[in-house]
Amino acid sequence: MRKPIIAGNWKMFKTRDEALEFVYAVNNNLPSIDKVDSVICAPFTVLRDLVKRQGENLRIGAQNMHFNENGAFTGEISPVMLESLGVSYVIIGHSERRDMFNETDEACSKKLKAAFKHNLTPILCVGEHLQEREDGSWQDLIRGQIIRDLNLLSSDEVEKLVIAYEPIWAIGTGKTATPEIADDTCGFIRTCIKDLYGESVAEKIRIQYGGSVKTSNIEALMAQPNIDGALIGGASLKAEDFITLVKASLK
């Protein structure tokens, strides 16, 4: 049995005061980490404050990082820096970074390797645009992302990786993939992992769905056999909703 993982991706939202208010509100209201991993991926500016105040059942993640440990890369944050703050997770290859900041598969593969080296669990985002869903090329696209992005990892690392299937047409649009499409695609990702790394790795790796997940649709998504969790943008910003989303993953 795979433990569910519910992660909020705050994107470029929340000041320090707003982030602190959130963490105080959720801390004592989350189910045990033995049953579900509850994660907030926050802007760099509040990571330290959140890690210091995270309750026993909450973990904090970053939304991006450089693959180098240090160097002349103005404006970048390294895996060593995140590790030193006590951050537990890092999102890699979100479609907003791939599409707006030219993040390549080659960079993602180096970032995944660097994350594991520095004790960060990466959440790798994959997913297609509407065009690729409609013309049927989504399978080739997602398989290609998996092959290229995971190519530096050992099997032991792949089984600890979290993959988030985020169809770009469902992000921030209110247009969620149906539970059937989401499950079918997460199942396809699991089959790709099985072909590349074997059955036991494919059984262990956790695959999330992301894209307009909210309190009203999470239960139907989590009821699907191949969906082990959710990566949630807008609906993760309110403490009360985040608690509801995490609890719904246990039903």
Catalytically active residues are 94, 166
Distance of closest approach, residue 62 Cβ to ligand 13P, in angstroms: 13
Of 191 and 215, CB closest to ligand 13P: 215
- 75: exposed, middle or buried (C-beta count within 10 Å: 0-12, 13-18, 19+)? exposed
Of 36 and 177, CB closest to ligand 13P: 177
Of 19 and 171, CB closest to ligand 13P: 171
Distance of closest approach, residue 129 Cβ to ligand 13P, in angstroms: 14
In angstroms, the CA 57 to CA 246 distance is 11
Mark out the alpha helices in the chain (DSSP H runs): 16-26, 44-53, 79-85, 95-100, 105-117, 130-135, 138-149, 155-160, 179-197, 199-204, 218-222, 239-248
Of 23 and 92, CB closest to ligand 13P: 92
Residue of 203, 139, 205, 202 lying closest to 167 (CA atoms): 139
Distance of closest approach, residue 232 Cβ to ligand 13P, in angstroms: 5
- Going by their DSSP bridges, the two strands 58-62 and 37-41 should be labelled as parallel
Q: What would the 3-class secondary structure string for 196-251 be?
A: HHCHHHHHHCEEEEECCCCCCCHHHHHCCCCCCEEEECHHHCCHHHHHHHHHHCCC
Of 79 and 167, CB closest to ligand 13P: 167
Distance of closest approach, residue 64 Cβ to ligand 13P, in angstroms: 12
Distance of closest approach, residue 158 Cβ to ligand 13P, in angstroms: 21
Over its C-alpha atoms, the chain yields an Rg (Å, rounded) of 17
DSSP bridge pairs for 122: 90
- Nearest residue (beta carbon) to ligand 13P: 233
Q: Which residues bind ligand 13P (CB under 6 A)?
A: 9, 94, 166, 171-172, 210-213, 231-235
